[in-house]
Structure 1
């Protein structure tokens, strides 16, 4: 069956066959990171290839039914049913082949920072972290806290955590959570407010794809590594040794730190994960600055200067300002029931990608 309607289908099939050959090579599996990367891409393309083959099979069946209907009108109903199925399969295939962010199949690193509002903002940052934690763990994904700085009331000045999927699936952590990047505004009566007045504060969220060592070239000479004593909770082993690590990437000025682990080596490894993700995000922001508006819209989710959502506690209302989404179930959303909101964001993104593909 001719796939002229889908100009990228042939390249997708070829890449799938190439990856299949790589996975059959025993040498690949001696490199765990590369093997995992190839395996994930193969699984991702497998869903697209299945849709291509289903479309081709339906098209062949429709052609055969059409020939039979020419000779016997009794086959007309069957031909019509196959035509409807082919239309549905074509729409699904168009969605799968639409341009997408190459990081969508990656795990994610998420950073939440308190902003305007002092202690109330830090408490809201904790609320956001717990909201994401509940949602992603409900999907069977894992949350790994890499670094956090707490306040006296238990809020977060900042927290950085990884979200990892145990296996490749239709939706992966970065592909889902990238829409959360931006400024989140909260309107409520803070616990520190004695007169019952509603305050407005905000927290910033940055979502980055987790990248492998080999995907980002980092020169050791470009790094300044400082060690210091951890200041947060964690027991005697954490707080009495110089196990915390701060890494400064001199060319870019990016600084990352980690103090949650007991050993200096573990903290350095976590800090390097954060640095690789930050360098990737920074490089893509720079590329976006010189790109088309369409490309900018794909990466704008890493820009914390953009207010994206309001959480109004008195009205139990949540509003996403990018897509006009509103719902009066804020309590459920904060308990991790983000599905309808994330589905709406995914649908808006798909519509935009399909528009670019036309």
Structure 2
């Protein structure tokens, strides 16, 4: 390949070599005997494909430009082609520069998404239910599978707390699309219980975690305290006569995970361990990132209306993402799962920050 329009020619060379090695691995039938490994390799191969295609297109455009200039020196009819290629080469250089921004190591992972009701009481719980439905519809639109792995219902509807595992069916990484959804989401609307028609403000918190596989995080059973208890429904009403609900405490970190959505203790234990592994992976990633940069954006840990990342204004049918100034008057469509425009805006802003930082 020719020289790269960035300060990272070695990075490009390494990624091209990695893509070639993945192509060889994926052609080996033995690799596909391990579906999990084949899936990981396939995702990474698909992730590198746009960069490889752009690098090849840039090389071809540069070669064509050099040839067109030689021909134009003898035949002016080639000048139009020269001008066209002189425009195309910088476009491809810029695209390649963007693709060379260091990727998030978790971009190709599935996610566990948690929604927690916050300030606002019953209205906040109802809004948590609206957010869950929005993410489930978004997953459906993109062809992902979604599984509610734990839920604590609220008395008047919605959820106090709900966790859902979202998995890709192809090579697309879900974390790359949903990682900016974490934070406090604020809603402004007239609650169904409001007789005077006054607009109320409440909030719900969203936490997005890359789902950790067992190879990502090793959990020592000796570090766990596992308690069992009876599942309960809204208002504390018992819905299970056996101790099937599970609470796992990770003693070294103090992280506590409870699951009661499944009917068996074993299923709830496995669901709780899935969430625990993902939280431990997220904590490790955050610690490493904090050590490298004290300016890293972190997801909001408290559901405080003043620390919002996004506002959903029902009277004006408006959605506003405060981090990038995104605003649109199609709230009804967004809540029905049309999240791509706001996610694209967040992704573009993040890429621009990395480019500006010289990555």
TM-score normalised per structure 2: 0.90
Contact 1:207 1:302 in 2 (8 A): no
Contact 2:257 2:272 in 1 (8 A): yes
Deviation at 1:243, TM superposition (A): 2.5
Contact 1:99 1:354 in 2 (8 A): no
Query: 2: CA distance between counterparts of 1:183 and 1:315?
Result: 20
Are positions 1:247 and 2:248 aligned together? yes
Are positions 1:195 and 2:203 aligned together? no
Aligned counterpart, 1:136:
139
Aligned counterpart, 2:2:
2
Cα distance change of structure 1 residues 242 and 29 upon mapping to structure 2, 3 Å threshold: farther
Are positions 1:109 and 2:112 aligned together? yes
Deviations 1:73-121 (A, max 9, x none): 2212112212222222222222211123211221111100000111111
Deviation at 1:293, TM superposition (A): 4.6
Are positions 1:48 and 2:51 aligned together? yes
Contact 1:123 1:154 in 2 (8 A): yes
Deviations 1:143-179 (A, max 9, x none): 111100001212100010011111113xx32111111
Contact 2:118 2:204 in 1 (8 A): yes
Contact 1:208 1:302 in 2 (8 A): no
Contact 1:227 1:243 in 2 (8 A): yes
Q: What secondary structure, in the 3-state scheme, does the structure 1 residue paired with 2:150 have?
A: strand
Q: How does 1:116-265 map to 2 (within 5 A)?
A: 116-169=119-172, 172-232=173-233, 239-265=240-266
Are positions 1:38 and 2:41 aligned together? yes
Contact 2:224 2:248 in 1 (8 A): yes
Where does structure 2 lack aligned partners over 5 or more consecutive residues? none
Cα distance change of structure 1 residues 304 and 85 upon mapping to structure 2, 3 Å threshold: farther
Query: 1: CA distance between counterparts of 2:189 and 2:100?
Result: 43
Aligned counterpart, 2:68:
65
Aligned counterpart, 2:326:
325
Contact 1:183 1:308 in 2 (8 A): yes
Q: What secondary structure, in the 3-state scheme, does the structure 2 residue paired with 1:68 have?
A: helix
Q: What secondary structure, in the 3-state scheme, does the structure 2 residue paired with 1:290 have?
A: helix
Q: How does 1:333-344 map to 2 (within 5 A)?
A: 333-344=334-345
Aligned counterpart, 2:358:
357
Contact 1:310 1:318 in 2 (8 A): yes
Contact 2:39 2:171 in 1 (8 A): no
Contact 2:184 2:300 in 1 (8 A): no
Q: Which range moved further: 103-112 or 19-28?
A: 19-28
Query: 2: CA distance between counterparts of 1:63 and 1:266?
Result: 64
Where does structure 1 lack aligned partners over 5 or more consecutive residues? none
Query: 1: CA distance between counterparts of 2:182 and 2:285?
Result: 14
TM-score normalised per structure 1: 0.91
Query: 1: CA distance between counterparts of 2:266 and 2:67?
Result: 65
Instruction: Give the CA RMSD over aligned residues.
Output: 2.1
Cα distance change of structure 1 residues 245 and 30 upon mapping to structure 2, 3 Å threshold: farther
Query: 2: CA distance between counterparts of 1:149 and 1:204?
Result: 15
